[in-house]
Structure formats: structure tokens, C-alpha cells
Amino acid sequence: MYVSKAAPKTQVECDYDGPAMKTQVPGPRSQELTKQLGEIQNVGAVNFFCNYNESRGNYLVDVDGNRMLDLYTQISSIPLGYNHPALIKLMAHPDNLSTIVNRPALGILPPGNFPEKLMESLLSVAPSGMTRVQTMACGSCSNENAYKAMFIWYRNKERGHNTPSAEDLSSCMVNQGPGCPDLSILSFMGGFHGRTLGCLATTHSKAIHKVDVPSLDWPIAPFPKLKYPLEEFARENAQEEARCLEEAEDQIVKWRHKGKPVAGIVIEPIQAEGGDNHASPEFFKSLRNIARKHGCAFHVDEVQTGGGCTGKFWAHEHWGMDDPGDIVSFSKKLLTGGFYHKNELQPYRIFNTWMGDPSKNLFLTEVLNVIRTENLLEEVTRSGKALLNGLYELQTQYPGILSRARGQGTFCAIDVCDDATRTSIILKARNKGVVLGGCGDRSIRFRPALVFKEYHVHLFLNIFNDVLAQHK
């Protein structure tokens, strides 16, 4: 039986010692609250209710007093764990009160410190080749507006950078061409880019996200289905990637002939919601070249991969490219939504009331400071190695249950033999004090905070091993 090597406990400021369970989860108080909330809204997806006051570091505390090691972190959106002292301290500063209390319409009346705060926060981690950024309120709005920026850019090119014609302006008012052009975005099977109508037309991870909602006739290419560990299947994987690239290029040509040219390609560096599907740097480099060759913008969606969890701040940095994309969108761990873009993609005419929320930029500045001063990217790389090695060992020990362990940094996943077993494992782990989430058809995804240390990895692996032993 696997027993994980114990790592020395690394101090995380304001963390607990380990999980501590008082009831099954959801406990009686959570069940009562679920019933109450059910009177007001749909609770089909609610897991349990949380006590965020008592949660600390890597530990999520629920309303029944259960304390769980959190490897899901609010669908990968908590960068430094719960109640990080640096963020609590930031709220005490009187200057910050007014930023939180008075939410401005950023596009017309930004606060005086807005350029400085953008420089300190988002611009300080700008992807290679990008010096401009537009904030937005959430991930879906970020992608929706990024698509619009690509459409506008493409049409500007088409009309030789002249202003829209009178016919453009009149026809668009009634949703017709040429003002509303038949342009498309190329996306990939298994991709997830959000659930508003534009985003949803590029999302292909689960039918339940899409069914009953009208969509757009846009091209969809296959995403490589690779074998793991990647290094052991290099030749086969390269063939699979070549097949997908060829298909992507075919789709671009086909849709141009259909009269619905591809204005942009959108892709995740690792397909997350769709099942943690990886592809090689060579794949992304080739795809970037295909985009260039056909005059399409290249949009890298880092909503889930961005923020340091892969061991680099952006997952696309693993590609080693100076010019990774024309647009990089973000949200979740960045606390604010938004997108970086090349100069050529001026998001002129990208506008809404709030255009983000400067109070989130304030917190992001502090999060980035902590990432730097505590060398959290190195820590993530170290914890991620321990986690992936542990998963490799466990899949060797439980070959009937686990397979395809994979990951970059702590952004790891493993496949379970079937969906029912996956659900059972996730629920049993929760009752033993570990919060996990699923993705794809039968994967478990690991999305701990950046303060998840080797110590926590081994704590988790031991509990996970206990759960698996029960399933053997």
C-alpha cells in the first residue's frame, strides 16, 4: 500500500494543521440552508455551505464546522487561499475604502490611481508582446469582448481601415449584413470559453451547457487526444497533433468558402472543463502560424490556466514564444476579468457600464506582491512535481481505477475508470476532508491555491490513497 513520503511542514501564513471532520458533508446545517436557498433559487449544483470567516489558507470550513483541505478552490479562482493576511490588511487601509464603496464607470470616469494600479497589477504580468489590457467583470464578458475586438479588427482590415459605410451602419441596426458580417470564430471540441451566447458558440465540453440555446454556424476543429505521460508517446502524439492541425486549417478554408470567414481562433493552453487535455508547444506554435497564414487573430483563453497554477504565470509561457497570441483573456485567479491585446487590435467600441471593478485590481496588486515575495511560482512547480509523482504512483497501485495522470505545476488531473466511480471517490474524499472537482467525462482535476505546499500534497495523497483502497 502506498504511503506518501511525509514532507516537512512548510509554513503557510494562517493555515490549519490538517482537515478536521465533524459530520458527513453536506452536514445538517448545510442541508437546512440548501432547503432555504431552494425556495429562492435553483440549488441543483450546491455542494455545501461555507463559513468563509473561519476558512484559512488551504482549508475551507463549512457551516457544520468541517474543515477541508481545498484542492478545488472555488473552481480554481482563489489565488492565495482563504483570508490571506495581506488581503485582510489591505482592506484596513482607509484609502481603499472608497475604491470598494464607489464603483466607477471605468470607461468614462476612472479613478486617479487607475493607470498606476493597472501598471502595478495587470501590466506587471503582461504576456510577451502585449502592452495593452482591458478589464471586464467576468470571464464570459472577457471572451465575448475579445471576440468583438477580433471581429472589428478583421472588418477594419477588410475595408482597408476605412470607417464603416452608410450601408454598414444602417444594416447593422436590424442585425443584417454587411453591417453585421457573417464572420466566425474557430474553436475546438472539448473547449470551454463561457456560457453567454457568443462564448457558448465556441464551447464544446458538455451538451448540458449548450442544449436548447440557439447558436452560430461556426467551425469546430478536433483538439488532440494525447496519450500520457506525454514523453512516452511522443511519436503517436505528434501524429495526432498533426491530424488536428490539418483539420483546423481545412475548417478555416471551408468556412471562407462558405462565406463565413474565420476572424479569430480561440483555444485554451490546457482544455480544463473539457477534461484537462494537453497539447505540445509545437502544436500551439503551428496553430499560431496557421492563424497568421490565413489572417485570423489568435486568442489564448487563460481564464482557468492563468495566474500561476502551471508554475508559470501564464500557461502559454511554457510554449517559449515571443509572440504567443494577439489576445490573452483572463479571470478567476486574476480576480478581475479582462484581456490583453496587441496594439493592432484596438478595442475601440468595446464598452459597458462598469468595464471591470477597480476594487478587484487593488486585491490583484497585493496577490502579485505575495506571489513575488514568497516565490510562489517556484513553490507551485515543486508542489506540482510532488503531486504528479504521487499520482503516477497511485495509478500504478490502482490500475483498475486510475489512469492518465497528467499535469503542469499543480494544474493536474487523473482519469477514473467511470463516472460513477469518480463521483463516489470525490464524495468519499470530501467526507475525509478533501475537496476535489471533476472535469471532462471521468477526470478529477486538481486546482489548489498557489500556497499549496509539498506538505499539503502528501497530506492529500495519503487521504486519497485511503479512499482508493476502499474502492479497490
Task: Looking at residues 64 to 123 of the shown chain, list those that interact with its own copies (rule: CB under 8 A).
Answer: 74-75, 77-78, 82-84, 87-88, 91, 95, 97-105, 107-112, 114-115, 118-119, 123
User: Do residues 151 and 263 touch, judged by C-beta distance below 8 A?
Assistant: yes
- Where in 371-400 is the site for its own copies (CB under 8 A)? none
Cα 435 to Cα 446: distance, rounded to the nearest angstrom? 9
Q: Does 243 bind its own copies (CB under 8 A)?
A: no
Question: Shortest Cβ distance from residue 4 to its own copies (Å)?
Answer: 27
Q: Residues 308, 311, 315, 317: is their CA dihedral positive or negative? A: positive
Q: Does 264 bind its own copies (CB under 8 A)?
A: no
Question: Shortest Cβ distance from residue 381 to its own copies (Å)?
Answer: 25
Closest CA to 436 of 407, 455, 414: 414
User: Quick one: 388 or 436, whose CB is closer to its own copies?
Assistant: 436
Query: How many other C-beta atoms are found inside a 10 Å radius of the C-beta of residue 420?
Result: 10
Cα 55 to Cα 68: distance, rounded to the nearest angstrom? 9
Q: Does 189 bind its own copies (CB under 8 A)?
A: yes
| Burial 63-100, CB ≥16 within 10 A → b, else e | bbebbbbbbbbbebbbbbbbbbeebeebeeeeeeeebe
| Burial 163-198, CB ≥16 within 10 A → b, else e | eeeeebeebeeeeeeebebebbbbbbbbbbbbebeb
- Given candidates 3, 208, 235, 322, which one binds its own copies under the rule CB under 8 A? 208
Question: Shortest Cβ distance from residue 174 to its own copies (Å)?
Answer: 6
Q: Does 343 bind its own copies (CB under 8 A)?
A: no
- The type of residue at 388 is L
The helix/strand/coil state of 51 is coil
Taking CB under 8 A as the binding criterion, the range among 35-43, 293-301, 377-385, 455-463 that sits at the site for its own copies is 35-43
216 exposure class (CB count in 10 Å sphere: 0-12, 13-18, 19+): middle
Q: Cβ contacts of residue 451 below 8 Å, gap of 6+? A: 12, 15, 57, 58, 80, 81, 84, 374, 376, 379
User: Do residues 14 and 56 touch, judged by C-beta distance below 8 A?
Assistant: yes
- Given candidates 13, 120, 168, 393, which one binds its own copies under the rule CB under 8 A? 168
Strands of the 327-330 sheet, one edge to the other: 132-136, 337-341, 327-330, 297-301, 262-267, 184-188, 220-221
User: Quick one: 217 or 419, whose CB is closer to its own copies?
Assistant: 217
Query: How many other C-beta atoms are found inside a 10 Å radius of the C-beta of residue 278?
Result: 21
User: Quick one: 260 or 471, whose CB is closer to its own copies?
Assistant: 260
Q: Does 322 bind its own copies (CB under 8 A)?
A: no
- Where in 397-416 is the site for its own copies (CB under 8 A)? none
User: Quick one: 237 or 336, whose CB is closer to its own copies?
Assistant: 336
User: Which residues are catalytic, by number?
Assistant: 192, 301, 332, 353
User: Do residues 347 and 341 touch, judged by C-beta distance below 8 A?
Assistant: yes
Q: Does 218 bind its own copies (CB under 8 A)?
A: yes
Q: Does 55 bind its own copies (CB under 8 A)?
A: yes
Q: Does 197 bind its own copies (CB under 8 A)?
A: yes
Q: Does 138 bind its own copies (CB under 8 A)?
A: yes
Question: Shortest Cβ distance from residue 99 to its own copies (Å)?
Answer: 7
User: Quick one: 102 or 470, whose CB is closer to its own copies?
Assistant: 102
Taking CB under 8 A as the binding criterion, the range among 7-15, 127-135, 264-272, 305-313 that sits at the site for its own copies is 127-135
Closest CA to 329 of 141, 114, 166, 55: 141
- Where in 141-160 is the site for its own copies (CB under 8 A)? 141, 144-145, 147-148, 151-152, 154-156
Question: Shortest Cβ distance from residue 307 to its own copies (Å)?
Answer: 13
Q: Does 344 bind its own copies (CB under 8 A)?
A: no
Taking each helix axis as running N to C, give the angle between helix 94-101 and helix 85-92, from 0 to 180 degrees, rounded to the nearest 10: 90
User: Quick one: 114 or 392, whose CB is closer to its own copies?
Assistant: 114
Taking CB under 8 A as the binding criterion, the range among 8-16, 138-146, 311-319, 454-462 that sits at the site for its own copies is 138-146
Question: Shortest Cβ distance from residue 333 to its own copies (Å)?
Answer: 11
Q: What number of chain residues touch its own copies (CB under 8 A)?
A: 120
